[in-house]
Structure 1
């Protein structure tokens, strides 16, 4: 997803934001290394705090779980600092893969909540 930062110079390194929440919390170095090898600068959100949670609560619904509410706080922390947010969707039947429908739909929910983020279509 593209962030609200303007494209100032196309030769400038793109900045990719990776939230430190949910499954991304376990693999930040994997994703960080991947994007750095592609020539991007990577910014991780700050570690979870009460302030991040309070910010996430402002945009979440009552039905959402605590983890999603904190995750929204991580998006708020990153969205004005980056060109793109890395929010892949994980699908599959592996026994260790998260099967929560709210987690699986999180990139779409983020896109709906944060309307100032533009979708990147590759195809």
Structure 2
């Protein structure tokens, strides 16, 4: 007789008929077909909280935390440009159209110059291709 492996023991415990009958007798188990799968909807994650968490947990390519100035720059962009529009919006409700509308408003108030135009073109490219 070959020895039982740990996973085999777990599998035997999982399909053990007396244990299943015990659950049915105490009415703690219901068949999947009769379970209430709708349940309450999970709470919506707001963009402002999500963005704050992303900046706080983001790491560099080398796996280190962001430099203080980089994190400050990200927080400035969020605070001044992005959060006024999206802070209270659930992340799942943000659409590509909303981002395009927001970007067209922000792009109008930017400064002039070659560097800014180059940055604007890159941002427009990423807005079109990533969404």
Q: State TM-score, norm by structure 2.
A: 0.28
The structure in which a higher percent of residues are strand is 1
Which has the higher relative contact order, 1 or 2, with Cα contacts under 8 A spaced 6 or more apart?
1
Higher-helix-fraction structure: 2
Whichever of the two has the greater Rg, that structure is: 2
